[in-house]
Amino acid sequence: MKRMLVILALSVFGFANAQKGTILVGGNISYASEKYEYQNGEEKTNEFSFSPRVGYQFNDNWTVGGEFTVGSSKEDYDGGDETKNNNFKLGAFLRYSVPLNQTFSAFADFGLGFQNQKTKEYDNGNLTSKYKADGMYVGVTPALFINMKKGFGLNFNIGGLGYETLSYDNNGPDYSKFYFNFGQTINIGVSKNF
């Protein structure tokens, strides 16, 4: 039965690998919500991010382009305390892709750029402090592209390797993070070649 489903799936999807001279448009949207309940109260966190990208395929295997991410998060604590974060990333990426068959392609993205974060803390609705940080990011993400129809498809990755920094204004802390998170995250995105 599984073999028949695979054969059916491969026959339904058409062959439309990205070709030299095409434009790649894609991106991810994410949302997360967490709630911690304690004996004396609770803490809720909501996060949202939107990450579009546009690239030019200058070779059958290579694509270069720009990417940006806008994100926000909000943490609510019992007692009226609240923290709001706004994040922004702007950078470039280089993609190398290899078609595996008519439906699947493997690719790796190398991205780097600038990032910014603004944090505001509130106590019962009154702004108590705000922070601003600037930094950079760099990362490599291997992924799989599934061609659905005529260059439109889904991108799947299960983590990557990267490094990022943030330096806060007003003598705030310097933050740096190295990550290697294969198998710890799953990201699904969409893309289309024109």
Confidence of residue 19 (pLDDT cuts 50, 70, 90): low
Q: What is the pTM of this model?
A: 0.77
CB 76 within 8 A of CB 82: yes
Q: What is the pLDDT of residue 13?
A: 31
Per-residue pLDDT for 183 more than 90?
no
Q: Which residues pair with 122 in a beta bridge?
A: 82, 127
Mean pLDDT check: name the lowest of 3-7, 101-105, 109-113.
3-7
CA distance 73 to 86: 7
CA distance 25 to 58: 14
Per-residue pLDDT for 185 more than 90?
no
Confidence of residue 12 (pLDDT cuts 50, 70, 90): very low
